[in-house]
Amino acid sequence: MANVVVVGAQWGDEGKGKIVDWLSERADVIARFQGGHNAGHTLVIDGTVYKLHALPSGVVRPGKLSVIGNGVVLDPWHLVGEIEGIRAQGVEITPETLMIAENTPLILPIHGELDRAREQSNAVAKIGTTGRGIGPAYEDKVGRRSVRVADLADDATLERRVDRALVHHDALRRGLGLPEVDRDGLLAALREVAPQILPYAAPVWKVLNERRRAGKRVLFEGAQGALLDVDFGTYPFVTSSNVIAGQAATGTGVGPGAIDFVLGIVKAYTTRVGEGPFPTELTDADGQRLGERGHEFGTTTGRKRRCGWFDAVLVRQTCVTSGVNGIALTKLDVLDGFEELKICTGYDLDGRTLDHLPIASEEQARCTPVYETMPGWSESTEGARSWADLPAGAIKYVRRVEELIGCPVALLSTSPEREDTILVTDPFAD
């Protein structure tokens, strides 16, 4: 059976939650493979709104196995609270429906404190993080000083892991003017939360292999967007993990051969939260209109998103780096009523025309968009469920997007409601 990876192909907030939920009804396993609770997904199911951060989108679907993979960094206290909140909405979550990879690194309170202290420091440029400790937790992972889920099961191991981490963190905290960590308090908090996390711990790599061999469909769910990838994003204004589709394999413990289809989620315009370059950003009435019509406020932070015209150059790049087989184009209805629309087809950099975004951050900041203008449409696309329901102008816009990014549209979303989706190519087709 086909296995599908879903990745955001812009700066995040592309509408992955709805698309993953739409696909999860046909999947057997939904696996998160990177990121932390800094990325939020909003699902609207039968009028009920679910806001998820650490939990995979599949938890709201009965009969599905949801997995948090080792590529995720996990705040155990946040997860406990999120589970309680979702249960309060009538969703059952048990160790039979949710598994956490035993080798998943934990986000500790010291990570959030360090994250916020750095962002508030005047000594370095602000990155625009959520301050939730995701970056410092990934640093500890590659620095081999993480506390991982499995460590919660053995007190002697837990103490060794904490002591190793504090050698590093106490030195950093002294440099930032913060008090040293309360070791005993941290250990007590971890011992208290351990019984609430350990029942979900499992050898996820083994479970996924067994499910795949049994013919089950796996949906690999990414967070954020490929332009925030630590290697291929707008560095240093990026997240601290790999976001592109290749991470689905290493972030869950399956081989790359397990991936059959990569679906890139793409908004019909462009948005970004936080700092960093944004060539097509609009600060005029059109940008304001996109933000208001698209309800562009972050699920996690509530921060207003920066809005701009569709950037075909960036999406073409992310389709290549993630090996995207087809895109899900979302929020087409937000463009209803514009007399004309613009699409970025290239960049001008000091008089040179580029067909890609350069890696150097100072060059990224100097890139200005080269636009192609198209007529808009006055009719509504909201709620359309077939090509016949779309205005001719909207169809032309979609077809031009396909041409410019070099990738076909597999799904088209025309409202937050899951059924308002046009299926062009089935990602799960064998």
**Integer angstrom CA distances of residue 20 from 26, 177, 214, 381, 414:** 10, 43, 22, 21, 15
The tokens of 34 are what? Answer: 């990177």
CB 259 within 8 A of CB 269: no
Strand partners, 24: none
Which residues are annotated as catalytic? 13, 41
Residue type for 397, please?
Answer: Y
Nearest C-alpha neighbor of 376 from the set 345, 337, 403: 337
Question: Rounded distance, CA 337 to CA 270, Å?
Answer: 17
What is the DSSP annotation of 302-370? Answer: -PBPEEE-EEHHHHHHHHHHTT-SEEEEE-GGGGTT-SEEEEEEEEEETTEEESS--SSHHHHHH-EEE
CA-based torsion, 162, 165, 168, 172: positive or negative: negative
Residues 81-118 as b or e (16 or more Cβ within 10 Å = b)? ebbeebeeeebebeeebbbbbbbbbbbbbbbbbbbebb
Peptide bond into 236 cis (omega under 30): yes
